[in-house]
Amino acid sequence: MGASIAPVTIGRTYYSSGLRFRPGLGRLRRIAAALPEYAALDLETTGLDPARDRVIEIGAVAFTPDRITSTLEQLVDPGRAVPDVVLRLTGIKQEELRGAANPDDALRRLADFLRGRQPVGHGARLDVEFLEAAGLWDGSQQVLDTLDIARILLPAAGSHSLPLLSTEMGFIQPRPHRALDDADATRQLLLRLREEAVALDQGLKESMLALVAPYPWPAARFFAEALTAPNPNPDPEIAVGRESGGRGRAAELPPDDPTAVAALLGPDGRLADLVPGYEHREPQLQMLLAVAQIQSRGGMLVVEAGTGTGKSLAYLVPSIARAVRHRERVVVSTNTHTLQEQLMVKDLPGLREWLPWDFKACLLKGRSNYVSLRRWRRYLAEPCKDAEELMFKLKVLMWLHTTESGDRSELRLHGREEVLWTRIASDPLDCVGIHCTKEDCYVHRAAACRRGGWRRTAA
């Protein structure tokens, strides 16, 4: 059975308390002590279909948190020509594969190497599928996937690919897309992720421990070990505050003349002085002037502009000028979420730095884009049906520790997580209406933002 959890609010951080089932540290440490040796693995293949494609190289590293205990590296003869794109990607030469190990023998060696060890991979599903196709994967065996763990512990990473995470975490991957090097990078990544988990603050650790303790899955055991390990470098807790709306600027009003507004983006304008490498674009100025004029006299404007015109600034600058001067609200409705995020993450924060006027902006989305803490609390108390659901709950728990918006776009949902999100998304049928305190309602916060607060939204 899962833990029955009644979360409480501490600032904007949602922890869990009042546990009916609370594992003792002794039990969790026994789980940690029983962890087997790890074995990071990687396969290089001719393609992505185990039914048609072949393995050309295997690599594996057996290790504990303290040391590497054994390695396995083997080129494999696929018995066919390898696509040029694969040869270029891996740096393996076709002649190196001729007369190399037989595929069945090589995979059998890998299966023997993994036996009695906890398999670890990064995006390991494909590796497992190739072993399954060869009849060498024990169905009861479960792989620990560093991709899933990275998505939980490093939600703000620009990418969760192994090469980019290697760079971001500060270790070198000498030969990307070579099996042994990728396996060793996976080993290093797992250990760095463990350090990230060890360094979490105590309140969040307790919430995560309560969640993982009942389950035997590899990810649960990884977190049970990491979250009970002592933090060698404890830092004082830092309160995270909401960014204030004002910046102490003088109450300067934008010019009423559309030509003066357009001059801001001219070759001698304010942005040219402040923005390194600023590029003056005449079509952008023409569009800005047209937008400013139509806003001044009223009417409708249809603009067709090609890529590279700089359309976003061309309509944002005059819109901000009018909103500030006339104390009006301007609504920008985008056709795609990508443009929506670009405006909130890049363009508006940039203009807030460059323009001499103080303005506020917020992002409003449909209700289902925001988490409902009421629904989340109920869902959190339910037992996890499988490891994938447990990972989703851990991911949300980490996210709720820091989010100010409650906006699902910050989570970067993948695959089945899209379906699981519907269990916790805000739903008008579940809203308690006038009985809601609104303090913990992200939909209410978004509406309040519209009435006055600047919010910077994560990509």
Are both 90 and 224 inside the same structural domain?
yes
Are both 215 and 183 inside the same structural domain?
yes
Are both 307 and 386 inside the same structural domain?
no
Do 219 and 397 meet the contact criterion of CB atoms below 8 Å apart?
no
Q: Is residue 14 domain-resident?
A: no
The CA-atom distances, in angstroms, between 107 and each of 55, 174, 382 are: 9, 24, 40
* Predicted confidence (pLDDT) per residue in 272-311, tens digit: 888 877 888 889 989 999 999 988 888 899 998 888 888 9
The CA-atom distances, in angstroms, between 269 and each of 75, 273, 274, 311, 325 are: 61, 7, 9, 18, 20
Q: Is residue 234 domain-resident?
A: no
Q: Is residue 246 domain-resident?
A: no
CATH number at residue 84: 3.30.420.10
Are both 205 and 303 inside the same structural domain?
no
Q: Is residue 293 domain-resident?
A: yes
Are both 265 and 337 inside the same structural domain?
yes
Are both 401 and 269 inside the same structural domain?
no
Amino acid in the structure at residue 29: R
* Predicted confidence (pLDDT) per residue in 377-403, tens digit: 999 999 999 999 999 999 999 999 888
Q: What pLDDT shows up at residue 235?
A: 60
* Predicted confidence (pLDDT) per residue in 240-263, tens digit: 333 434 444 545 688 888 888 888
pTM: 0.72
Q: What is the Cα–Cα distance from 368 to 372, expressed in whole angstroms?
A: 9
Domain boundary among 330, 357, 384: 357
Are both 173 and 300 inside the same structural domain?
no
Are both 384 and 349 inside the same structural domain?
no
Q: Is residue 245 domain-resident?
A: no
Are both 69 and 199 inside the same structural domain?
yes
Are both 338 and 377 inside the same structural domain?
no
Q: Is residue 169 domain-resident?
A: yes
Q: For the chain, 459 residues long, give each residue's pLDDT as a single digit of tens.
A: 333 333 333 333 444 433 333 445 555 555 555 566 999 999 999 999 999 999 999 999 999 989 999 999 999 999 999 999 999 999 999 999 999 999 999 999 999 999 999 999 999 999 999 999 999 998 888 999 999 999 999 887 878 999 999 998 988 888 999 999 999 999 999 999 999 999 999 999 999 999 998 888 898 889 999 999 888 877 644 333 334 344 445 456 888 888 888 888 888 888 888 887 788 888 998 999 999 998 888 889 999 888 888 899 899 999 999 989 888 888 888 888 888 888 988 889 988 888 888 888 888 888 888 999 989 999 999 999 999 999 999 999 999 988 888 889 888 898 899 999 999 999 877 776 666 665 678 877 777 766 654 433 332
Are both 270 and 324 inside the same structural domain?
yes
Residue 437 lies in domain: 368-448
Q: What pLDDT shows up at residue 237?
A: 46
Q: What is the Cα–Cα distance from 411 to 459, expressed in whole angstroms?
A: 9
Q: Is residue 275 domain-resident?
A: yes
Read off φ and ψ for residue 334, nearest 5 degrees.
Answer: -95, 155
Q: What pLDDT shows up at residue 138?
A: 84
Looking at the structure of the chain, the number of domains it has is: 3
How does DSSP assign 58-111, residue by residue?
EEEEEE-SS-EEEEEEEEB--SSPPPHHHHHHH---HHHHTT-B-HHHHHHHHH
Q: Is residue 7 domain-resident?
A: no
Are both 68 and 201 inside the same structural domain?
yes
